[in-house]
Amino acid sequence: MDAHPSHFAQIYSVYAHVPFCFHKCHYCDFYSLAEPRGDASRHQPFARALLGELGALSESYRLEPTTVFVGGGTPTLMGADVWSSLLYDLQSLLDRSKLQEFTVEANPETVTEDLASVLVDGGVDRFSLGAQSFQPDLLKALERWHDPASVGRSVGILRKAGVSRLNLDMIFAIPGQTLEDLDRDLEAVLALEPDHVSCYGLTYEPNTPLTTKLRLGRVDRADEELERAMYERVMERLGAAGFEHYEISNWARPGQRCLHNMAYWENRDWLGVGPSAASHVGGRRWKNEAHLGRYLEGCPEPPVVDVEELNAAQRRGEQLMLRLRLIEGAPLPWLDALLPDGDWRWGEIKMLISMGLLERTGTHVRLTRAGLFVGDDVVARLL
Ligand code: SF4
């Protein structure tokens, strides 16, 4: 099946995947290639390929995004010179008249004043920093290579460059982590005054070194009770500090939700560029192959895999599953319009309500507190 729908669809969000890291963290299953520091030989060719891919897509889609998100990988491993030409050329490819948010993910070790000013001058207005923990032994347990002090240093550089919108990515239930460790991490997060925090329980993804170590008995996985207590602590602490808990794993200051991720949860149309990036337009999904060499060879039309056209019932399931990730849940009129009478999901919703995992308020169906702890499993049952 051809990936691209024939109509000239409007695209709300664009994701670009940068597949370079200076080291592969042991828990990570994102597509990225560890390359020695200082080896930037593939960065410029990659940036040109990315622009080429976007240029080709602009023939089939109206690229007027409200959000752009550059993730990876480590986008900030590309130097200021590469970013400068990338952002300059992007101006002629993307209509920015509707752009509300332009996020770049950053590894704290890679943020410099030069790079920050190039990114901000080029229109980037939000950064997402991978902090994960502020304790060296816990970062070591993840084989995550950065000095915790570099997070504060990066925040300072970004603020000085004029950035006000900052997310910190955190992980809990790290092997060896105690509740007191988590308290210290949350204190460190709050001291940096981000306007958004993403906080995930550690997942053991297949085919990662961490999962191999678990199988070999070389790491102690946090037990379920401790993981629940940690999630509870994150909710309490961030809530008390004035953050709105708006998605299972995401918290924001009022008005500071990540609009790009909201587009995913609201199941809007987005295009992904770069190796391994996924796209979703009009119920059709596909992914670029996760292979940098073939990506560079194939651009401007890189190899695509997993092309899937969802039927109406699958689309309903997907929309419901995504919407229920939001803490406010699914509005009742939206739900009534989405699910026809007799759809099996009504029965499933009823059962999940009777189990205390979902609840019906006056206006919405949403996850309960108990449902939040197993949120991924609950929403998956409605797919
Ligand atoms: S820096 Fe991020 S993308 Fe790169 S290996 Fe670590 S977790 Fe994965």
Per-residue pLDDT of the chain (383 residues; tens, 9 = 90+): 667 765 678 899 999 999 999 999 999 999 999 987 678 899 999 999 999 999 999 999 999 999 999 999 999 999 999 999 999 999 999 999 999 999 999 999 999 999 999 999 999 999 999 999 999 999 999 999 899 999 999 999 999 999 989 999 999 999 999 999 999 999 999 999 999 999 999 999 999 999 999 999 999 999 999 999 999 999 999 999 999 999 999 999 999 999 999 999 999 999 999 999 999 998 899 999 999 999 999 999 999 999 999 999 999 999 999 999 999 999 999 999 999 999 999 999 999 999 999 999 999 999 999 999 999 999 999 98
- C-alpha to C-alpha distance for 343 and 279, rounded to whole angstroms: 27
Among 24, 76, 110, 142, the mutation site with the greatest number of ligand 1 atoms within 8 A of its Cβ is 24
Q: Which CATH class is domain 9-265?
A: alpha beta
Contact 1, 54 (CB under 8 A): no
- Which amino acid does the sequence have at 120? V
Six-digit token string for 132: 């994960």
Among 74, 76, 210, the mutation site with the greatest number of ligand 1 atoms within 8 A of its Cβ is 74
CA 74 to the chain's CA centroid: 13
Instruction: List the residue whose alpha carbon is closest to atom 3 of ligand 1.
Output: 73
Assessment of whether the complete model's pTM goes beyond 0.75: yes
Nearest to 76 by CA among 118, 48, 137: 118
**Span from the CA of 333 to the centroid of ligand 1 (angstroms):** 40
Q: Is 75 in the pocket of ligand 1 (CB under 6 A)?
A: no
Q: Is 145 in the pocket of ligand 1 (CB under 6 A)?
A: no
- C-alpha to C-alpha distance for 49 and 43, rounded to whole angstroms: 10
Six-digit token string for 349: 């919703």
Q: State residue 10's pLDDT score.
A: 85
- C-alpha to C-alpha distance for 346 and 341, rounded to whole angstroms: 8
82: left (phi over 0), alpha (psi -120 to 50) or beta: alpha
Q: Is 28 in the pocket of ligand 1 (CB under 6 A)?
A: yes
Q: State residue 1's pLDDT score.
A: 65
> Alpha helices of the chain — where are they, by DSSP H?
43-57, 80-93, 113-121, 136-141, 149-160, 179-191, 209-215, 224-240, 259-265, 292-298, 312-323, 332-338, 344-354, 369-373, 375-380
Q: State residue 2's pLDDT score.
A: 67
Who's near 151: CB < 8 A, 6+ residues apart?
108, 129, 131, 134, 168, 188, 192
**Span from the CA of 92 to the centroid of ligand 1 (angstroms):** 30
**Span from the CA of 21 to the centroid of ligand 1 (angstroms):** 6
Q: State residue 133's pLDDT score.
A: 98
Domain ranges for the chain, please list them.
9-265, 329-383
How does pLDDT run across 92-148, given as a tens digit for each residue? 999 999 999 999 999 999 999 999 999 999 999 999 999 999 999 999 999 998 999
